[in-house]
Structure 1
């Protein structure tokens, strides 16, 4: 969204099932428990995971059980159907019959990219990049094998970064994989990426020693030649899900600190001042409320937004906070059940959007600058994996899979 959301379509995609490659990262995994009588092979959430992670794993397990009932593999493009329209959102046909679109980023109304994968069999997937030319999507390229892109950043048509199981760069002709730097916390699984005008890049996520529940936040920077690990303050177990870059000495990252036994999961905000990363206090939650951030966007040093979700007594809703240059303040959001937010940003027309959802629940919020409040807009009607506003104009993209069917990729657009 401005120069922000197109480079931070980060919200970590939650796949409806494990990606079909044996080298798929843990982020795609659905925990599998010992089969019980009458439930042989059914997926179960990891009981050691943090509260919000447990909810996500349960959601993945339920969706995986449903889609596996009529599992089939068909990588060929299906005949184009009439585009569906939902409250101003309009689906745009994509040349992938079965698979997933996990991230999207736009440079203008006629230039946008999406990444994801196509299922080529029950056991194999092909990572790919699609390009929008203002009229239709076409496949532009295939990413390196086993890359499983989770997030996308686009600086120009010949400078794209996709991160997931690895980091890969597109120079306009070919993708090149670039290994992330080793992290003592474990295997690095990126969730978001952002680029800067000088060609540098930042990626954030988590380092996983054994399981997601034991993960710690991780940040790496690209200096034009290699990725470098960034030392972070010790916040305990957690993860980062969004990154926003204003300047080399003004970088924000947002995520969550996992709940200790019997405690609360808390929203996490980190800031880089050009010399070191430090933790910045997030708005304090009420007792028993779990919070986390899924995305962050910055338009000025005193205008930064972070969005995510909160859970109180099992009820989940959107959560948003704003930085005014001095402190972070929680900002009220509509009470949309299961309306966790995954991305935020400002379009070229100045409109601020936040997008997300959980499972078949999708949500889009629009900031009313006059009334100083978030209002609910038309839902994208898609299982949202990623979103992007459109700079140099207006509008909004959301990508993911259809609410019904078996891994049917969808790209839908809200015109500006």
Structure 2
């Protein structure tokens, strides 16, 4: 998942007044329904969970139907939440926030199993790196901050981690980039004791960048991102795969003159999806590729907006099914899209809301076709006496289910 930019950097945050009843109602069922699940009477529908003030839920990681973990960005610090199958509760002790960092502290992508896992954090805001990087570890019900290993080329610039994948308590992977003209893509491995930098083909490729990583049961570990074509100066999609022994490049279909990958997900080793953009960054088109275990195919992507668009998050619940979060370039309009194996349909987990509301989606995950979670921020703009509208953000957690939890 890509860590969202802080709203503090874009708009002055409003003071949220108590009793703001015009915002989203608690557990309001939306009008959008999904197709019935094959072989059952289930017709899943979306509900919105309670929405107190916050800067948004930036990550969701589904372990099972009754064990779902969320990372919520607060005005100062972060909060870990868990769905227990009946209600949303605070996930025990919280991520420690070092002194004098609370108003800059940011939480990002996370990955968990039944015993624990990892969240990426940034102590000094979205634009200031923390040296080699910092990760928050959940183990035995307690959170600790852990420093990432030194990059392969620390002399070229600081490093950034943007996604993490937990395999088990003794193994995890994190990906990102090393800044600087000689920097390359970064892969770190947790061996149960410490984080160290892993060797891989894109480590020394100038401007290479990994954006997403996924541990696929029975299929190794996959990572997706971009690399620069030194002859043309354009960016090209890049996928790497670890087969249990070493990382290797994965050959991809030709995306055209330019392309980048932002998202990756898989339901199994023969159902791997990667997505991002093709074309120029000024007028991008969504790019979607699928691996069936034998070869790659370019799959029709959701229609972009008038100024282009991208796919920045994927969830693959089963073969022939895909959820995608998309963004219309230059318009700041976010969409939730569903692929049924033949066509795309936009869904609105929030239902129909007044124009004063805006919805920013950050992450999507689930345990199957009829159990899907979408997280983000719901914003309401209100008039003010300071010359421009104030922004009232609240967390957004939407759940597609049959209502039997």
> Shorter chain as normaliser: what TM range?
0.7 to 0.9
In structure 2, relative to structure 1, the CA distance for the partners of 1:246 and 1:313 (3 Å cut) is: closer
Deviation, 1:248, is 8.4
Question: Normalized against structure 2, the TM-score is what?
Answer: 0.74
Considering fraction of residues, name the structure with more helix. Answer: 1
Q: Which of these residues, 161, 180, 198, is aligned with residue 190 of structure 1?
A: 161
Deviation, 1:313, is 8.0
SS state at 1:237 partner: coil
Deviation, 1:174, is 1.5
Matches within 5 A, 1:5-404: 10=1, 12-17=2-7, 64=10, 67-68=11-12, 71-74=13-16, 81-83=24-26, 84=28, 85=30, 87-88=32-33, 89-94=46-51, 96-119=52-75, 125-140=76-91, 141-145=93-97, 148-156=106-114, 158-165=115-122, 166-183=134-151, 184-185=153-154, 186-197=157-168, 199-209=170-180, 216-233=184-201, 234-246=204-216, 250-258=220-228, 263-287=233-257, 290-312=258-280, 314-337=282-305, 338-347=308-317, 351-358=321-328, 360-369=332-341, 373-380=342-349, 382-391=359-368, 394-404=370-380
Distance 2:380 2:232 in 1: 37
Root-mean-square deviation (Å): 3.1
Deviation, 1:215, is 5.5
Question: Normalized against structure 1, the TM-score is what?
Answer: 0.72
Residues 57 and 71 in structure 2, CA contact (< 8 A), matched pair in contact too = yes
Distance 1:187 1:14 in 2: 20
Distance 2:340 2:219 in 1: 30
Distance 1:311 1:403 in 2: 31
Considering fraction of residues, name the structure with more strand. Answer: 2
Which of these two proteins has the greater Rg computed from alpha carbons? Answer: 2
Gaps of 5+ in 2: 34-45, 123-133, 351-358, 382-390
Deviation, 1:404, is 3.5
Deviation, 1:257, is 2.0
Residues 322 and 328 in structure 1, CA contact (< 8 A), matched pair in contact too = yes
Deviation, 1:306, is 0.8
Gaps of 5+ in 1: 1-9, 19-29, 31-63, 120-124
The C-alpha deviation readout for 1:54-92, integer Å capped at 9, x for no partner, is xxxxxxxxxx1xx32xx3345989778514536243321
